[in-house]
Structure 1
Amino acid sequence: MMKRPFGIAVAQLGPIQPSDSRASAVARLVEMMREAASLGARMVVFPELALTTFFPRYWMSDEDAIERYFEKSMPSAQTQILFDTSKNLGIGFYLGYAELTTDGHRFNTSILVDQTGKIVGRYRKIHLPGHADHKVGKPFQHLEKKYFEVGNEGFHVWQTMDARIGMCLCNDRRWTETWRVLALQGADIVAVGYNTPSVNIHWPEPPHLRMHSHLISLQAAAYQNTTWIAAAGKAGLEDGCHLFAGSVIVSPAGEILAQTQSEDDEVIYCKADLALADTFRQHIFNYGAHRRPEHYRLITERTGVGDPLGKEPDPS
């Protein structure tokens, strides 16, 4: 089978402190974009909420959150340099940020930008984790359900830069449905950005198991859904709260081919052969030949164990 080379870079961010400006965050992204291009990357993947600190850890009014952390347009005056650099270098990118729509809706969003600096795709996060109430006494909050609405545009794959590229965000990576919907659209590459705390505020989960579940989710998803995965995290100590690193590029064999070694700004690169996914689709996961969707009805008929569609499980 003919090779389909595609240079993929992942740009991990070190911490962004609450006092750091948008301009300083963007300057760091531009520097890593330049490094990715010098390595031969056709696309670089940045983290979720890459322009600010991970603000859902703070309890504040919605108005304050909007004023401080949401982007009213993309590109904006402060982010335009990313798009200009993309065009000048001929490299595409994935970027996560907090989106405020013109009619007042709020989403945890990522965009896909091609090598000409043009936005060609948008994804709004569907699997929002955390809570909407103020959990007094916890070391920090996880208020994505307070600050964001559930994404309203579904999971899609875009034909761009000579590849079929899908997107998801953070908690989406843990849900099998995310990957299969993208796989059924023929995704060659899925880009995912994340900000994941090392501490679980709900139960004493050992940090090493959190990293283990992160990596095994990506490896199993890549293998079972015949796709390359490029996962970019924001890492390190943000305002006293630790985010784990573990940014990786995973092949359709489930093999980690590149992984960050630090919790700082760091670029990793892999010259991927997209034809490897084609091989797996033909010989192992040939969906047309082997899938039996008539036996998978519970996936769309129930939201939880024994719960009919549309009924949320009892949170108690």
Structure 2
Amino acid sequence: MRIVTLAAAQLGPIQRAESRQHVVARMLELMDQAKAKGATMILYPELALTTFFPRWYMEDQAEVDAWFEREMPNAATLPLFERAKEYGMAMSFGYAELTPEGRHFNTCILVDRTGKIVGKYRKTHLPGHSEFDTSRAFQHLEKRYFEPGDTGFPVWRTEGGLFGMCICNDRRWPETYRVMGLQGVEMVLLGYNTPSVNSQKADEGPEKRLFHNRLSVQAGAYQNSTWVAAVAKAGNEDGFPLIGGSLIVDPNGEIVAEATTEDDELLVHACDLDATKFGKATIFDFARHRRIEHYGRITAQTGVELPPE
């Protein structure tokens, strides 16, 4: 067995006025709990250091850039790296990245047990819109503040296994998991900030949103015979609610742990990476069963092309 004892560290709401230092203190508390429960890896949500700022329409670029991190680690986040290294605990979390070239990405990183960043992923599938939309119940301006990621979906050899990452909306796209699956991924780490109500469909509330969350993660895990851990930032941020529902799913697509609150909450599960082997050698043995001669349309077009009438 190759056991990764994973701590899925859900964060409750982060208000707009809350400082990074205060948030990091909360993250450190969850890390302390994870250490006490024997965790060897901890996963935090998308945009873990701040409120979900894409809900706010901003025109001043300096105001926008204040939500971004220019380096990692930095003064605010260094305590996370130091504590993780002290504990010998691998770590992953998401944040808004401002590169030296002035590019803006929704990013997450993978840090090994020595405190070294060994992987970086930038969100590919950006949801929402880029201009203020009066028809929406609230704004979702990721396309305004971020550019689509340029990393693709890499997989890293670390901590005795093969790990991949994705962020929020990426989890809804089967291509996300399959590209990593074709690299043998054994655990996918992902964080999300998902509004409790669809801004364009008021009757799609928390129950349906949680259903779609489970569906996407379980399907991705099963169809690629991989562990998937999905961790939320949840609760009411300045009047805007986010779903919780953080969960850990095994390579059979079964939920082995799931959050029950919308607060800071820790899930810990011993994940055997060898549990991925059976599915990868049988029903999802890609080398034997995939028929790529019929898949060209997947990468040849974006929008729907209807057959002739």
What TM-score comes out, normalization by structure 2 length?
0.96
Query: Is the contact made by 1:131 and 1:146 (CA closer than 8 Å) also made in structure 2?
Result: yes
Structure 1 residues 119-134: aligned runs within 5 Å: 119-134=117-132
Structure 1 residues 69-88: aligned runs within 5 Å: 69-88=67-86
Alpha-carbon displacement from aligned partner over 1:142-169 (angstroms, at most 9, x marks no partner): 0000000000111100001111100000
Other-structure match for 2:244: 245
Structure 1 residues 153-232: aligned runs within 5 Å: 153-207=151-205, 208-232=207-231
Alpha-carbon displacement from aligned partner over 1:195-250 (angstroms, at most 9, x marks no partner): 00011111234211111011111001100011101111000000000000000000
Other-structure match for 1:6: 4
Task: For residue 61 of structure 2, give the secondary structure of its aligned residue in structure 1.
Answer: helix
Task: For residue 12 of structure 2, give the secondary structure of its aligned residue in structure 1.
Answer: coil
Structure 1 distance, partners of 2:54, 2:60, is 11
Q: Kindly report the root-mean-square deviation, in angstroms, between the aligned alpha carbons of the 2 structures.
A: 1.1
Counterpart residue type for residue 234 of structure 2? A
Query: Is the contact made by 2:69 and 2:98 (CA closer than 8 Å) also made in structure 1?
Result: yes
Query: Is the contact made by 2:221 and 2:251 (CA closer than 8 Å) also made in structure 1?
Result: yes
Query: Is the contact made by 2:227 and 2:248 (CA closer than 8 Å) also made in structure 1?
Result: yes
Other-structure match for 1:274: 273
Structure 2 distance, partners of 1:100, 1:217, is 29
Structure 2 distance, partners of 1:67, 1:299, is 35
Structure 2 distance, partners of 1:194, 1:232, is 6
Structure 1 residues 33-52: aligned runs within 5 Å: 33-52=31-50
Other-structure match for 1:255: 254
Counterpart residue type for residue 38 of structure 1? A
Alpha-carbon displacement from aligned partner over 1:79-125 (angstroms, at most 9, x marks no partner): 00000001000001111000000010000000000011110000000
Query: Is the contact made by 1:167 and 1:190 (CA closer than 8 Å) also made in structure 2?
Result: yes
1:61 deviates by: 1.9
Structure 2 distance, partners of 1:15, 1:204, is 22
The reply to whether residue 22 of structure 1 matches residue 15 of structure 2 is no
- Unaligned stretches of 5+ residues in structure 1: 308-316
Query: Is the contact made by 2:186 and 2:227 (CA closer than 8 Å) also made in structure 1?
Result: yes
Structure 1 distance, partners of 2:293, 2:7, is 39
Task: For residue 302 of structure 2, give the secondary structure of its aligned residue in structure 1.
Answer: strand
1:67 deviates by: 3.6
1:136 deviates by: 2.4
Structure 1 distance, partners of 2:96, 2:58, is 15
Counterpart residue type for residue 208 of structure 2? L
The reply to whether residue 57 of structure 1 matches residue 83 of structure 2 is no
Structure 2 distance, partners of 1:205, 1:151, is 31
| CA separation of 1:205 and 1:294: change in aligned 2, threshold 3 A | farther
- Unaligned stretches of 5+ residues in structure 2: none
Task: For residue 157 of structure 2, give the secondary structure of its aligned residue in structure 1.
Answer: strand
Alpha-carbon displacement from aligned partner over 1:163-209 (angstroms, at most 9, x marks no partner): 11000000000000000000001111000000000111112342111
The reply to whether residue 288 of structure 1 matches residue 287 of structure 2 is yes
Task: For residue 83 of structure 1, give the secondary structure of its aligned residue in structure 2.
Answer: helix
Structure 2 distance, partners of 1:277, 1:67, is 41
> Taking every aligned residue pair, what percent have the same amino acid on both sides?
52
Query: Is the contact made by 2:65 and 2:98 (CA closer than 8 Å) also made in structure 1?
Result: no
Counterpart residue type for residue 129 of structure 1? P
Query: Is the contact made by 1:92 and 1:115 (CA closer than 8 Å) also made in structure 2?
Result: yes
Task: For residue 304 of structure 1, give the secondary structure of its aligned residue in structure 2.
Answer: coil
What TM-score comes out, normalization by structure 1 length?
0.94
Counterpart residue type for residue 160 of structure 1? T
